[in-house]
Each structure stands twice: as C-alpha cells, then as structure tokens.
C-alpha cells in the first residue's frame, strides 16, 4: 500500500456521507494530528528509556494522543477532539515535574504550542467548544510553574540539565514557533480553499441562473408566440363564424323576398312582379356590397333597409308606412355599424306585428340616435304586440321553423367577444292608456 493511500484512508477514518463538510475537514485534521503527535511522542519516549517511570508516561501519552483515531472511527467526534486538547497539558505538566526541580522551559514551550489545538479543531463555527478548550490550556499554562514545582523530580534524574538544557529549551521554542506558523498557514490554506469553493459555487450558481434566465426568456417568447397565434386563431374563428352567420341571415331574407315574387306571379300581376324584381335586384346588389366587410357606414345600411322596406310594403299591399330618422350629430357616411344588424328586428316587426294588424294604418319607425359615445338604434311598430303574435303562431300548423332571431343572437355574442364594449338589445312591449297592446319597441345599443 502506498503511503499516500494509507494517509488518505487514515485521514478519512470515521467520516461518512451524512456529515457536513466543515465537520469533515475538522475530523480529517484531528486524525492527522492524532497520528502525527502520537508517533512523535512514542518515538520521543525512547529518550527516557533509562527512567522507567518517564518512559512509561511517554508511552501512555503516545497512546492517548493516538486514541482520537479510535473515537472518530466510533463516531465520537467531540470526544476525539477534546482528547487532543485536554490530555497534552496533563502529560506535559506531569512529565515536567518528574524531569526537573525547576519549571522546565522546553516543556513550557510545548504546552504553549497546545494553544493552537482548540483553534484548529473547533474553529469559530464551534466557538463555545473552542473557548472552552482555550480556557483549559490557558489555565494549565498559568498554573504550570506552581504545579511542576509541587511535583518532586524523580530520583533517577540527578540534575535538571539532563532533560532541560539549552538545546532542549531552544528545540522546544523552535517546535512551538514552527507549530504556530504551520497552524497559521494551515488556517490560511483552509480559508483560501473555502473562499475558492465559495467563488466556484457562486460562479456555478451564476451560470445556472443565466441558463435558467435564458430558458425563461425562450419560454416567455414561445408563450408569447403561442398566445399571439391563439389570439389570431380565435380572431379568425370569430370572423369565420360571423361570416357564416351573415351567410345564414342573407339567404333567410332572400327566401322571404322570393316568396313575395312568387305571390305576385301566382296572382298574375305582371307589372307588380316586374317592379318587385327590379327593387329586389337593387337590394341583392346592396346586400352583396355590404357583405364584403363586417362593419359598413350607416348610410349603406339604411339604403339596404330602405330597399327591403319598399319590397315588404309591396308584398303586403302597402298596409304599413315606415319612417327612418338619423340624429344630426351622426355622420352617416363615416360612422360604421355591423352589417345587417337591424334587418332581423325590422323583419320581426313586419311579419309578427304589423302583418296581423287589422284595418291598416300600420307604422314602422326607425331612429338612429347619438347617445354618449354610443349609437341607439330604435325599431318601433304599432302592430299587435308579442303576446298576440305568439297566440296567433300557436294556432298555426307547424311549417317552416324561423331561425332568424337565434342566428342574430349568436351573432351578437360573437360581436361582443371581438369588440370593445357590448352590443345590447332590449325589447319592450308598448301599451296604451287602457293597458292594451299597441306595438313593440326594440332598442339596440352599439358602442362606437
């Protein structure tokens, strides 16, 4: 086994994955100090082989200094470190007392070097334990002289110079100085390594944050693109559905117009049929022009409604008159509204109200008014009212199912989803002073 492998295994003795990194470093240092000091003391013990008691003391001290290896292996990390702090002063004072009458200067330097043990083994992260160890070493250092004087020198030693001469003193001083410098350099190295690890961690965190930020930007861009595509698709869907609903409204109206032409032909009224066809052609042309755009000028809408009303008057033998008025504040050629929006309500007024009125005299009034940044379109008739119309419809044999109102309502919902503001429709039943039905009023509020 190579020494480096042995040294690494010895240094990591007792360390497991669950220990925090700072404690692992302290245990590694504890193992290395325990092995090194234990070997040095064990080898130093042979200096006193002629004095059995001192020889035995140093052998036991070497074993005690090495015992932290066992304690770390068993998981007693605090006990192992305190052993390297508490045991050395005890053996140094006892050995100094047995080796000399006067306080041994060389061993006092050795005791002074023990001050670095609690600093290295506990450090500032375990300040309470560090100060406790420093207090113990400082106490023994202060009591070194009286305690060594109180211990009698062994009889086998004839003079203090045998083990505490100038060479021993200088050696002890040099060893203490070297240990202090080594401890300082080791602490500096630990701090530098910790700082480098911290900087590397910060760099990695910065790189990760940068990668995350870039991915977030990409996701935001993708999300924005998806939302934009979604909005465009929804807008296209609304446009298509509105066009489909307009396509349902126009055939619905054309079907009614063709019924009127059929009525004239069946009655062999050629002149009226030709006149009706002429007006019908104009109306179809106007409807086709208005169908190009979703919104059209009010003037174009009212022109189509005028053609339509003229056809319906011919169809019902001019049994009703109509009147269209527009507010002076409104520019009919620049202000736009949804195409064919009012026609279904006018058709309902004619077919379900004025058509069933007896004695003629039917009136249909259409107003386009300006009202607080909105248009108020009013369709009012003096027909039989909704209740009477419903009763008449209930007495008929079911035939064609009218879907004009349902189509218009669906179209309104789609319009409200695609414009700012809401198009609202209110239907009111009109009564005279005797509470008899006298017609229906529809109010359509359109935001500008």
- Rounded Cα distance between 225 and 244, Å, is 28
Contact between 111 and 137 under an 8 Å Cβ cutoff? The reply is yes
**296, 432: one domain:** yes
**343, 431: one domain:** yes
Q: Which two tokens stand for residue 207?
A: 């790189």
Please check whether residue 430 lies inside any domain of the structure: yes
Least Cα distance to 441 among 423, 428, 431, 425 occurs for 428
Q: Residue 12 contacts by C-beta under 8 Å, 6 or more apart in sequence?
A: 28, 31
Please check whether residue 24 lies inside any domain of the structure: yes
**130, 245: one domain:** no
- Rounded Cα distance between 446 and 420, Å, is 10
Express each pLDDT in 41-99 by its tens digit: 888 888 778 888 888 988 898 899 899 999 999 999 999 999 989 988 988 888 888 88
Mean pLDDT, the chain, whole residue set = 81
Give the residue-averaged pLDDT of 295-318.
87
- Report which secondary-structure segment, H or E, holds 322: strand 320-326
Question: Sorting pLDDT into bands at 50, 70 and 90, what band is 190?
Answer: low
Greater confidence, 57 or 272? 57
Answer with the one of 113, 145, 164 that is the final residue of a domain: 164
Give the residue-averaged pLDDT of 26-33.
87
Answer with the one of 144, 164, 184 that is the final residue of a domain: 164
Check which CATH number belongs to the domain holding 365 and give it.
3.30.565.10
Q: What is the pLDDT of residue 297?
A: 92
Please check whether residue 279 lies inside any domain of the structure: yes
CA neighbours closer than 13 Å in the CB half-sphere of residue 273: 12
Please check whether residue 337 lies inside any domain of the structure: yes
| Residue 270 lies in domain | 241-447
Please check whether residue 180 lies inside any domain of the structure: no
**134, 250: one domain:** no
Between 119-128, 153-162, 391-400, 421-430, the lowest mean confidence (pLDDT) is in 391-400
- Rounded Cα distance between 379 and 360, Å, is 19
Task: Give the number of domains in the chain.
Answer: 2
How far does Cα 125 stand from its chain's mean position?
36
Look at strands 362-370 and 336-338 and give their pairing: unpaired
**144, 270: one domain:** no
- Rounded Cα distance between 296 and 291, Å, is 9
- Rounded Cα distance between 172 and 174, Å, is 5
Contact between 97 and 143 under an 8 Å Cβ cutoff? The reply is no
- Rounded Cα distance between 231 and 95, Å, is 91
Q: What is the pLDDT of residue 288?
A: 74
Greater confidence, 406 or 19? 19
- Rounded Cα distance between 290 and 247, Å, is 12
Express each pLDDT in 90-129 by its tens digit: 888 888 888 888 787 778 878 888 888 888 888 888 889 9
Express each pLDDT in 203-255 by its tens digit: 888 888 888 988 888 888 888 888 887 766 666 665 655 455 455 445 666 67
Terminal Cα distance for the chain, rounded: 92
Q: Which two tokens stand for residue 266?
A: 């069946």
Please check whether residue 296 lies inside any domain of the structure: yes
- Rounded Cα distance between 123 and 131, Å, is 9
Please check whether residue 41 lies inside any domain of the structure: yes
Q: What is the pLDDT of residue 400?
A: 47
**249, 159: one domain:** no
Answer with the one of 164, 195, 230 that is the final residue of a domain: 164
Please check whether residue 172 lies inside any domain of the structure: no
Question: Sorting pLDDT into bands at 50, 70 and 90, what band is 392?
Answer: confident
Least Cα distance to 135 among 148, 155, 117, 108 occurs for 117
């Amino acid at each position: 086994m190579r020494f480096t492998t042995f040294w690494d295994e010895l240094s990591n003795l007792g360390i497991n994955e669950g220990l925090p990194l700072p404690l692992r470093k302290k245990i590694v240092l504890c193992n290395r100090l325990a092995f090194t000091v234990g070997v040095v003391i064990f080898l130093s013990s042979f200096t006193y082989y002629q004095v059995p008691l001192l020889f035995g003391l140093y052998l036991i001290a070497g074993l005690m200094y090495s015992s932290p290896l066992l304690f770390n292996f068993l998981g007693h990390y605090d006990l192992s470190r305190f052993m390297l702090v508490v045991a050395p002063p005890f053996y140094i004072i006892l050995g100094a007392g047995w080796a000399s009458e006067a306080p041994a200067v060389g061993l006092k330097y050795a005791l002074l070097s023990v001050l670095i043990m609690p600093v290295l083994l506990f450090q500032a992260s375990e300040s309470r334990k560090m100060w406790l160890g420093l207090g113990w070493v400082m106490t023994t250092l202060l009591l070194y002289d009286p305690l060594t004087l109180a211990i009698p020198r062994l009889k086998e030693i004839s003079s203090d110079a045998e083990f505490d001469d100038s060479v021993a003193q200088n050696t002890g001083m040099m060893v203490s100085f070297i240990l202090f410098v080594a401890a300082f350099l080791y602490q500096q190295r630990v701090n530098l390594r910790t700082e480098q690890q911290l900087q590397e961690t910060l760099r990695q965190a910065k790189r990760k944050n940068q990668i995350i930020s870039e991915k977030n930007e990409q996701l935001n861009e993708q999300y924005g693109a998806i939302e934009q595509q979604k909005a465009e698709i929804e807008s296209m869907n609304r446009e298509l559905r509105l066009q489909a609903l307009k396509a349902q409204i126009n055939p619905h109206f054309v079907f009614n117009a063709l019924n009127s032409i059929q009525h004239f032909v069946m009655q062999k009224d050629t002149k009226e049929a030709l006149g009706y066809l002429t007006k019908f052609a104009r109306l179809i042309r106007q409807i086709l022009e208005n169908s190009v755009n979703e919104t059209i000028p009010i003037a174009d809408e009212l022109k189509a409604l005028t053609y339509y009303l003229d056809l319906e008057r011919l169809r019902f033998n001019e049994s009703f008159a109509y009147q269209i008025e527009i507010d002076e504040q409104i520019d009919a050629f620049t202000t736009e509204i949804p195409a064919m929006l009012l026609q279904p309500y006018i058709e309902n007024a004619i077919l379900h109200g004025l058509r069933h009125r007896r004695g003629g005299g039917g009136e249909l009034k259409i107003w386009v008014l300006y009202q607080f940044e909105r248009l108020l379109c009013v369709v009012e008739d003096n027909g039989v009212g909704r209740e009477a119309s419903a009763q008449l419809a209930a007495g008929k044999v079911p035939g064609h199912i009218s879907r004009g109102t349902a189509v218009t309502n669906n179209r309104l919902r789609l319009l409200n989803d695609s414009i700012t503001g809401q198009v609202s429709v209110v239907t009111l039943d009109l009564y005279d002073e005797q509470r008899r039905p006298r017609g229906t009023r529809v109010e359509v509020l359109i935001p500008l």
